[in-house]
Amino acid sequence: MMSIIIPSTYNYIAVFLTFACNLKCSYCINAHSSINRKRKLLSGDDWVTHLSRIVTRPDLPITFGGGEPTLHPDFYYIVKELHRKNIPMDLLTNCQFDISEFAYQLSPSVFNRDAPYASIRVSYHPETMDMYELIDKVHILSQNNYHIGIWAVNHPKWQEEINRCWALCNTLRIDFRLKEFLGIYEGRIYGTYKYPNACFNAVPGLGKKVVCKTSELIIGPNGNVYGCHADLYHNEYDHYGHITDENFIIHDDYVVCNKFGYCNPCDIKLKFNRFQKEGHCSVSIKEI
Mean pLDDT of 78-89: 96
Bridge-partner residues for 57, per DSSP?
60
Q: Mind listing the pLDDT tens digit for each residue in 188-206?
A: 999 999 998 888 875 555 6
* pLDDT value for 73: 96
Instruction: Indicate whether 167 pLDDT > 90.
Output: yes
Instruction: Indicate whether 119 pLDDT > 50.
Output: yes
What is the pLDDT confidence band of residue 40, given thresholds at 50, 70 and 90? confident
Instruction: Indicate whether 174 pLDDT > 70.
Output: yes
Mean pLDDT of 242-265: 92
Mean pLDDT of 161-184: 94
Percent of the chain scoring above 90 in pLDDT? 73
* pLDDT value for 202: 57
CA torsion 60-61-65-71 (nearest 10°) is: 180
Instruction: Indicate whether 187 pLDDT > 60.
Output: yes
Long-range contacts at 195-200 (CB < 8 A, ≥ 24 apart):
195/260, 195/263, 195/268, 195/281, 195/285, 196/268, 197/260, 197/261, 198/260, 198/261, 198/263, 198/267, 198/268, 198/285, 199/261, 199/262, 199/263, 199/264, 199/265, 199/268, 200/265
* pLDDT value for 241: 95
Single-letter residue type at 51: L
CA torsion 236-29-121-193 (nearest 10°) is: 100
Going along the chain from its start, the domains and CATH numbers come out as 4-191+216-246 (3.20.20.70)
* pLDDT value for 34: 47
Does residue 147 or residue 277 have the better pLDDT?
Answer: 147
Instruction: Indicate whether 97 pLDDT > 90.
Output: yes
Mean pLDDT of 24-38: 66
* pLDDT value for 205: 54
CA-CA-CA-CA torsion sign (234, 236, 241, 246): positive
Instruction: Indicate whether 33 pLDDT > 70.
Output: no
Q: Mind listing the pLDDT tens digit for each residue in 197-250?
A: 888 875 555 678 899 999 999 999 999 999 999 889 887 678 999 999 999 999
Rounded to whole angstroms, the Cα distance separating 18 from 220 reads 8
* pLDDT value for 275: 82
Instruction: Indicate whether 51 pLDDT > 70.
Output: yes
- Output the pTM of the full model: 0.93
Mean pLDDT of 72-81: 98
Average pLDDT score, the chain: 91
Rounded to whole angstroms, the Cα distance separating 202 from 153 reads 24
* pLDDT value for 38: 64
* pLDDT value for 114: 87
